[in-house]
Amino acid sequence: MRRSSGSGHNSGNNTGRRSTTSRPSSPGRRPSTSIPGKASRLSTIDLTTPGLGGGLKDVLRSRYLLKLLVQKELKVRYRGSVLGLLWSYVKPGVQFVVFWFALGIFLGMNRNTENYPIYLFSGIVLINFFNEALSNASRSIVGNGGLIKKIYLPRELFPVASVWVSAIHFVPQLFVLLVACFIAGWTPGVVQIGAAVIGFLIVALLAIGLGLFFGSVNVYFRDSENFVDMLLMIATWASPVLYSWTMVRDGLFDAFGAGTGGILHTIYQVNPLTIAVELFHFAFWMPTTSGVTDPLTAVPPNLLDLWMPIGVVISVLVIVLGQFTFRRLEGRFAQEL
C-alpha cells in the first residue's frame, strides 16, 4: 500500500512538473498537430483560430495544400468529360467565332479595325479569365463547406485555388492567341511582353481581391452570387474588347459634351479591366498592324506611364479590401455553412 501511495505521490509530482514546464500557448493559436505521412511539408500544422491567422501569408506557407486543392478542383471539374482540358480551347473558340461574325462581318468592325480578329481575341482571353476566376472564387467557400467544417486549413486557399485553376485554363487560350499573332507577323519586344505580364497580374490580383470579398459575403448572403453574375456581364460589355476605346470616347463626347463626357471617359479608363485589356492590345494586336493604324489612337495615351501604374494600385487596394472583409467574416464560416 505504501508503495502504491508513493507511486501516486511521484506521479503527482511528475504531473506537477509537466504542468509547470509546459509552454503557454499564444492567444488565438492552438497547439501544433503532427500528421504522419510521406509529405514532410505537412508534418506540422499550426491550428489557428479563424480570423487570427496570417491571411494570404498562410497561403504562401501552404503551397503544397494549394497544389492539392488545384488538382482536386481540376479532377472534379472534368470528371466524366471526354474532352477534358480541351474545353479550354473549344469554348473561347466558339465565342470568338460568334463575336467575329456578329461584330466583325455583320456590323463591319473588320473595316474599321485592322486585324480585328486578333484585337477581339486578345481581349476575350483576358475577360474570360477574369469572369471564370471571379465566378468560381466567389462560390469557393460555399462549395467547399463540407471540407471547411471538417478540418482546419487557411480558408483563403479556396478562392486563390479557384483563380489558379482559371489561370491554367487561360494558358491554352493564350497559346492560340500567340499562334494567330505569329501568323499575322507578330514581332514582340521586351516592352510588349512586360505589358502583357502586368496586364495579366492586374486581372489576377483583381480577381483574388474580389473573390475574397464576395466569397466571404456569399456565406451570409447568397444573393451575392446573382450580383457577381451581373458584375461579370457588365465587365464583358464595358471593357474595350468588342470595340475600340476611341468609340467610347467619341460616343461620350457626343452624348454629354466635352466636360461631362471627359469625366465619364476618365472613369471608364480608371477601370482596371480596361487598362489590362488595352495592355494586351498593346502587346499582341498593335505589333501586327501594318502602319495603317495610327499608333496615337490605337491605345489610350499614357497607357504605360500613367494608366498601368493606376491599374496595379487599384488591384492591390482591392486585395487589401477583400482580405480585410474575409478576415472579419471567416470566424463564423463553419456555423453558417
Instruction: Tell me which residue of 135, 127, 128, 119 sits closest to 89, measured CA to CA.
Output: 128
**Tens digit of each residue's pLDDT (9 = 90 or more) over 43-56:** 444 555 555 567 78
Residue 87 resides in a domain: yes
Residue 294 resides in a domain: yes
| Euclidean distance between CA atoms 196 and 190, whole angstroms | 10
Does 35 score more than 60 pLDDT?
no
Does 80 score more than 80 pLDDT?
no
**Tens digit of each residue's pLDDT (9 = 90 or more) over 244-280:** 899 999 999 999 998 999 999 999 999 999 999 999 9
Residue 41 resides in a domain: no
Whether the CB-CB separation of 274 and 265 falls below 8 Å is answered with: no
| Euclidean distance between CA atoms 148 and 142, whole angstroms | 9
* Domain count within the chain: 1
Strand bridging mode 44-48 / 29-34: antiparallel
Q: How far is CA 150 from the centre of its chain?
A: 26
Compute φ and ψ for 291, nearest 5 degrees: 105, -10
**Tens digit of each residue's pLDDT (9 = 90 or more) over 99-109:** 888 888 888 88
| Euclidean distance between CA atoms 70 and 273, whole angstroms | 25
Whether the CB-CB separation of 133 and 70 falls below 8 Å is answered with: no
Whole-model pTM: value is 0.81
Does 39 score more than 70 pLDDT?
no
Residue-level pLDDT at 50: 53
Residue 132 resides in a domain: yes
| Euclidean distance between CA atoms 248 and 268, whole angstroms | 9
Residue 10 resides in a domain: no
**Tens digit of each residue's pLDDT (9 = 90 or more) over 315-336:** 999 999 999 999 999 888 878 7
Residue-level pLDDT at 49: 56
Task: Identify the band that residue 139 occupies on the pLDDT scale cut at 50, 70 and 90.
Answer: very high
Helix, strand, coil percentages, rounded to 5, for the chain: 75, 5, 20
Residue 281 resides in a domain: yes
| Euclidean distance between CA atoms 137 and 215, whole angstroms | 6
Cell of 298: 490605337
Residue 33 resides in a domain: no
Does 149 score more than 90 pLDDT?
no
Residue 39 resides in a domain: no
Cell of 126: 483576358
Q: Containing domain of residue 264, as a range?
A: 53-336
| Euclidean distance between CA atoms 25 and 136, whole angstroms | 37
Centre a 10 Å sphere on the Cβ of residue 134 and count the other Cβ atoms it contains.
28
Least confident residue range of 2-11, 171-180, 251-260: 2-11
